[in-house]
């Protein structure tokens, strides 16, 4: 059993990313020393990352560390789902709806969540942001999108 779970997982993560990066870089040309190819730097870096990951992994079995705190999975979900929702609907349903969705979904992640407040603020922000960013600053997004036949 690893004695330091944080070192253990960080090491594993580095090892995985390093190996993936090395695998992807296998087709990139190494070049020669005089003219470094596009593969040279990525391959050296992936190798380094694999090395650091391995050291971290080995160390996790030797050196005692602080315990790993749990991950707040639900909080991660509220935040990321709200952003993904924005990205999913912003072109179809439009900017106004996307803003409301971010507010509604992310606000549920708070202990102090309150439907009425959230909806009020979401509506106000949606109108405000639509006017400011789409009308005012000309960000190329529809306020109401193609799903509404507009």
Out of 3, 16, 23, 41, the only residue in the binding site for another protein (CB under 8 A) is 41
Interface of this chain with another protein, residues 77 to 106, rule: CB under 8 A: 78-80, 82-84, 86-87, 90-91, 98-99, 102-103, 106
Give me the DSSP letters along 55-118: HHHHHHHHS--PPPPPP-HHHHHHHHHHHHHHHHHTTTT-HHHHHHHHHHHHHTTSTT--HHHH
Out of 56, 93, 96, 97, the only residue in the binding site for another protein (CB under 8 A) is 56
**Of 85, 90, 88, 89, whose CA–CA distance to 104 is shortest?**
85
The token pair at 131 is: 């006017």
What phi, psi does 129 have (nearest 5°)? -65, -40
Regarding 119 and contact with another protein (CB under 8 A), the answer is no
Out of 3, 16, 23, 24, the only residue in the binding site for another protein (CB under 8 A) is 24
Out of 16, 55, 136, 146, the only residue in the binding site for another protein (CB under 8 A) is 55
Least distance in angstroms from the C-beta of 25 to another protein? 7
Least distance in angstroms from the C-beta of 150 to another protein? 18
Closer CB to another protein, 38 or 148, in the complex:
38
| Distance of alpha carbon 83 from alpha carbon 103, whole angstroms | 10
């Amino acid at each position: 059993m690893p004695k330091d779970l944080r070192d253990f997982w960080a090491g594993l993560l580095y090892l995985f990313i390093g190996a993936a990066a090395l695998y992807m870089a296998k087709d990139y040309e190494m070049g020669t020393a005089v003219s470094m190819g596009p593969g040279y730097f990525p391959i050296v870096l992936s190798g380094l990352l694999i090395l650091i990951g391995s050291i971290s992994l080995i160390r996790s079995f030797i050196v005692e560390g602080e315990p790993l705190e749990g991950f707040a999975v639900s909080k991660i979900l509220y935040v990321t789902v709200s952003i993904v929702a924005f990205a999913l609907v912003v072109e179809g349903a439009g900017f106004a709806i996307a803003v409301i969705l971010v507010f509604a979904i992310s606000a549920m992640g708070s202990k102090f969540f309150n439907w009425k407040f959230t909806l009020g603020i979401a509506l106000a922000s949606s109108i405000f942001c639509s006017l400011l960013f789409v009308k005012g600053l000309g960000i190329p997004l529809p306020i109401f999108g193609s799903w509404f036949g507009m």
